Amino acid sequence: TFTAATPLGEAAAGLPVTTDLANAVIGLIPGSIGETSVIAIALGAILLLWTGVASWKIMLSVFVGGALTGLLFNSLGLTEITWVEQLVYGGFCFGAVFMATDPVTSARTEGGKYIYGFLIGVVAVMVRVLNPGYPEGMMLAILLLNLFASLIDYCFVQSNINMRAKRVSKK
């Protein structure tokens, strides 16, 4: 074993990232165990989706939010890491598949799942890019959005109640 800077740590320090994308997908990069192999995480995602434990809506929206935010920051010149590397490096995939989809703490309404996941992806990439002292932001984003999951669900339920009340009052 050896100790080395992770790709996100290199980027935060202003150093060139020495890891190629193929090694990141396979899992041959420095990092915490379980978060570096995108292939292993994808197999876990398939299992969670097949058993019905996790929500594909949350997973998909986390990746969409992270990709769009990564594209935005890359086009503004705020980071050299591409949107694909934002999704592959660090704990982004691990957090999107195993942590954000926790059925107890995530949003429960169908529309709320999209908003919840999207905002996790956005906040995770924002923390990574805008705070160089903290190169990994996935778990912070998940904890922050867990605080707002109930509010997101409340807004969707209240919107549904208001629409039904309007329908009843028109008759």
In whole angstroms, give the CA distance from residue 7 to residue 56: 27
Share of the chain above pLDDT 90, in %: 64
pLDDT at 5: 66
In whole angstroms, give the CA distance from residue 37 to residue 25: 6
pLDDT at 1: 55
Residue 7 has pLDDT above 90, yes or no: no
Give per-residue burial for 108-138: e unless 16+ CB within 10 Å, then b.
Answer: bbebbbbbbbbbbbbbbbbbbbeeeeebbbb
Express each pLDDT in 141-171 by its tens digit. Answer: 999 999 999 999 999 999 999 999 998 888 7
